[in-house]
Amino acid sequence: MEQYKKEFIEFMVDCQVLKFGDFVTKSGRKTPFFINTSFYRSGRQLSRLGHYYAKAIQEKYGTDFDVLFGPAYKGIPLSVATAMEFSQLYDSDVKFCSNRKEVKDHGDVGILLGSPLCDGDKVVIIEDVTTAGTSIEETVPIIKAQGNVEVMGLVVSVDRMERGKGEKSALCEIQEKYGIQTTAIVTMAEVVEHLYNKEYKGKIIIDDELKAAIDAYYEQYGVK
């Protein structure tokens, strides 16, 4: 596993973004782990998060794209922070863009924030976590409505590796439906690999009991 992935997993733990216990997802699934990206709350945290996103994006898509698109609302700071870090790491001045929930009809009019989307632009969508792909169903038409724009792919922070609306993972369903490449900074398999029965800051985060609960969850909701 790449070093930046290990660092990112520990970063999520430190920020209390990655938690283990008893939770219920929006889809009603009882889960032993939860990823709450609203716990990234400081400039330093957002800068580091952008750094890890930039690493994952460059690894998957290289630098041959034009715009990072962050769907409102959580995607807005992600697109800004990652564009800044991408520029620093790879000397590639990618633009950032997001949508508004409501169309603005005065001043900076329209549905978009940041850079406009132009014919020929190659776009990578950046999100926090995708479970059912609902946000992408709303986002892709907005991007496509701006002109002859190519949506290259989608990057999320964590691939939960569970079924979406069918028997395949949400990221796989998105990839097949829209013909785009999908990737994540880390998968839950990598999270478990890095934390299972390994001490981090004096504590075993994933012990045998928690590992059994995670395995049982994937037995029920994992990709078949």
Residues serving a catalytic function are 104, 106
- Residue 23 pairs in a beta bridge with 31
Q: What angle do CA 97, 101, 103 make, to 5 degrees?
A: 85
The two three-digit tokens of residue 152, written as one number: 């290259």
Long-range contacts of range 175-180, CB-CB < 8 Å, 24 or more positions apart? 177/133, 178/136, 178/140, 178/151, 180/151, 180/152, 180/153, 180/154
Phi first, then psi, for residue 90 (nearest 5°) are: -125, 10
